[in-house]
Amino acid sequence: MPGSVVAVDDDELLVGRNDGILSITLNRPDVANAITPDQRDRIVELLQEASALVDVRVVVLSATGRFFCTGADLRASRPGAPKPPDAPERVVGDVARMLREGAQKLVGAVLDCEKPVIAAVNGTAAGLGAHLALACDLVVMADTAKLVEIFVRRGLVPDGGGAWLLPRLVGLHKAKELMFFGDDVPAAEAQALGLANKVVPADTLDAAVAEWAKRLATGPTRSIGLTKRLLNRSLDSDRTTAFHDEAVAQEMNMRSDDANEGVQAFVERRDPTYRGW
């Protein structure tokens, strides 16, 4: 939602807050919005802050130009820790640490954010960019956009939690097909597979996302956040754990003002006014 930006972190990442909506916009169109380590760390920080900020009730992740995000910018990698002169450039553990502190941390921050996160996918989302979009709670795609599990084309293994995310969204066999071949997944197919919630004409993407963002920004924020947590944990929980999580979430939510407002509004036969706490 570039139009709602009210502040700029720098030229490469636009950040704005307006009416309960935190907008984070990737702004490196000249390099297909490949993410630098500094951008990645700032996005993680913003998502963590969003959980604590009462006046943030929904997050929108978008991009400028023709691309959503084509993954990590390898040309912007940071130097490693100092090593003895005779040590190899890369030692065992370096790659795993880089992933934990980089791509995995970014995707995890989206999943762990206590507020709902909407991906406004304006163009190609490839590699880590695809996983960044798929980690979001709702995905709205322009009809000209596409998702690409591009790793196999480069002889690489998927990162950013992709091999965990994708089977949970499309099933194991379809996930293998997408990752083994790396074929483009156009927006219409992404929606049919359950990878996108909505596909709209490219020139209406911002309006479609804004409509959903506004609804979420005026909804029962704590209820939605707790529901997000229950759903994200559901596929990894046994029944006993899931029922326990549900009971704890109910206990927490019924102590919120919005839950009381929702029940009271039902009794009084009026529309509720949720405040986000």
178-232 confidence digits (pLDDT tens): 999 999 999 999 999 999 999 999 999 999 999 999 999 999 999 999 999 999 9
pTM: 0.90
Task: Give 215-277 as a DSSP string.
Answer: HHHTS-HHHHHHHHHHHHHHTT--HHHHHHHHHHHHHHHTTSHHHHHHHHHHHTTS-------
According to the model, what pLDDT value does residue 90 have?
A: 78
Same domain, 154 and 110: yes
CA distance 23 to 60: 5
Residues 138 and 44 in one domain: yes
Query: Does 78 reside within a domain?
Result: yes
Whether residues 116 and 245 share a domain: the answer is no
Look at residue 165 in the predicted model and tell me its pLDDT. Answer: 96
Same domain, 225 and 142: no
For the chain, residues with pLDDT lower than 50 are 1-8
Within-domain flag for 251:
yes
With respect to residue 143, please indicate whether it lies within any of the assigned structural domains.
yes
176 and 242 belong to one structural domain: no
Question: Does residue 275 lie within any of the structural domains?
Answer: no
**199 and 63 together in one domain:** yes
Report the domain count for the chain: 2
- Domain assignment present for residue 273? The answer is no
256 and 173 inside one domain: no
At residue 88, the 3 state secondary structure works out as: coil
Same domain, 262 and 163: no
> Is 92 part of a structural domain of the chain?
yes
Domain check: are 177 and 242 in the same one?
no
Chain segment 162-182, per-residue pLDDT in tens: 999 999 999 999 999 999 999
Q: Are residues 59 and 123 in the same domain?
A: yes
- Give pLDDT, residue 67: 98
For residue 262, what is the domain's CATH number?
Answer: 1.10.12
241/244 Cα distance (integer angstroms): 5
Same domain, 235 and 208: no
276 belongs to a structural domain? no
User: What number of H helices and E strands is found in the chain?
Assistant: 11, 11
Domain limits for position 262: 221-267
Give the per-residue pLDDT at 205: 98
| Domain membership flag for residue 63 | yes
136 and 260 both lie in a single domain = no
pLDDT of residue 9: 53
Structure tokens at 144: 């000209």
